[in-house]
Structure 1
Amino acid sequence: MLLASLSLAAAVLLSSCAGRSLPPYEKPITPAPVMKIRTTAYTHSESDHQKYAARNALGTQLQHGPINSAAADWSRFPAGTTFRIVATGEIFMVDDYGWMLAGTNTIDLYKPDGRSMREWGVRRVTIEIIQWGDVRQSYAVLKPREKYRHVRRMVKQIEDRYL
């Protein structure tokens, strides 16, 4: 009986992952030197990030310090995009992406622990772009990963808008 229950639970879990929906598509914001955007926060110890440990989508270490890591839809904020949050002065560089960011204008800010992540929560902030990342380099990283739906969404947007 226990084995049957565990098998059923595993089947339900796997089927729910297979049917996981992408976030609703948002019309891209117009790139500008200063923008007001929605931000969220994440940390490497969240359950959906544990398999990557403290690594970003580029395969390097997530950063917290003078320049902090951030995740975004790379068709809107290409990898390497560096920005400053006006209210806090913190500087972030986009070096990661995530399922819930594909097709959205949200930027997810890396925090070193769960407490910092929860304290940030969800905020609309004004950012100043220091340097835009390279959309072609982002595309080169994303294209081989197209088997994932969120990556396919970003690749298609890059192809439609830039290539």
Structure 2
Amino acid sequence: MGRLVLGFCLIGWLTGCGRSLPPFEPPMQRAPFQQVRATAYTHSERDHWKYGRRSALGTPLRAGEMNSAAADWSRWPAGTVFRVMETGQLYQVDDYGWALSGTNTIDLYKPDRSQMNAWGVRRVNLQILHWGDPRESWRVLYPRREHKHVARMLKQMR
């Protein structure tokens, strides 16, 4: 019996069912310029394997002239375009993640682990060039509402 319980606990841990959401941070005020915590991610991280090089919108993750970014869609709706002032790079929010829900952190897509690790964690200044559509974000998120992090974003969008 102990092995069975241990097995269920392990499955729950691996699938994220037992994970706690990150601590909630009060949302930042919507403004054309913001200072945020910026992390980086790549498609080869374990928690992205099942999605491959695809964003939450189902589009290819981008690195180049326009880059993909992940964020809490209740704060930066899908389609939000911004410039990282320190680098001049342009990003569009097309992804979200468990660790971003309820936070003022934006995750910048990098095409490989070395670039992801080189970025690390930084505080950066953003210039918001275009706010995304909260209705489109809701349309994409609502069918996924059984996931805790998605439910948290939907609750904040109401």
User: Distance in 1 between the 2:6 and 2:119 partners?
Assistant: 34
> Post-superposition shift, 1:66?
0.3
What residue is the counterpart of 1:12 in the other structure?
Answer: 9
What residue is the counterpart of 2:137 in the other structure?
Answer: 138
What residue is the counterpart of 2:33 in the other structure?
Answer: 34
> Post-superposition shift, 1:14?
1.6
What residue is the counterpart of 2:149 in the other structure?
Answer: 150
TM-score, L = length of structure 1: 0.91
What is the RMSD computed on CA atoms of the aligned residues? 1.6
> Post-superposition shift, 1:13?
1.6
Identity over aligned residues, as a percent? 56
Distance 1:5 1:44, change over 3 A: farther
Q: Deviations over 1:6-45 (max 9, x none)?
A: 8676433223332210000000000100110000000000
User: Distance in 1 between the 2:80 and 2:11 partners?
Assistant: 35
User: Distance in 1 between the 2:148 and 2:60 partners?
Assistant: 24
Ranges in structure 1 where 5+ consecutive residues have no aligned partner: none
For these two proteins, the number of residue pairs brought into alignment is: 156
User: Distance in 2 between the 1:53 and 1:7 partners?
Assistant: 31
What residue is the counterpart of 1:72 in the other structure?
Answer: 71
Q: Deviations over 1:89-112 (max 9, x none)?
A: 000000000000010010000000
Aligned positions of 1:79-98 closer than 5 A: 79-98=78-97
> Post-superposition shift, 1:118?
0.3
**Secondary structure of the structure 2 residue equivalent to 1:100:** helix
Distance 1:114 1:142, change over 3 A: same
User: Distance in 1 between the 2:54 and 2:25 partners?
Assistant: 27
TM-score, L = length of structure 2: 0.94
What residue is the counterpart of 1:122 in the other structure?
Answer: 121
**Secondary structure of the structure 2 residue equivalent to 1:152:** helix
> Post-superposition shift, 1:144?
1.0
What residue is the counterpart of 1:51 in the other structure?
Answer: 50
What residue is the counterpart of 1:108 in the other structure?
Answer: 107
User: Distance in 1 between the 2:3 and 2:123 partners?
Assistant: 42
**Secondary structure of the structure 1 residue equivalent to 2:99:** helix
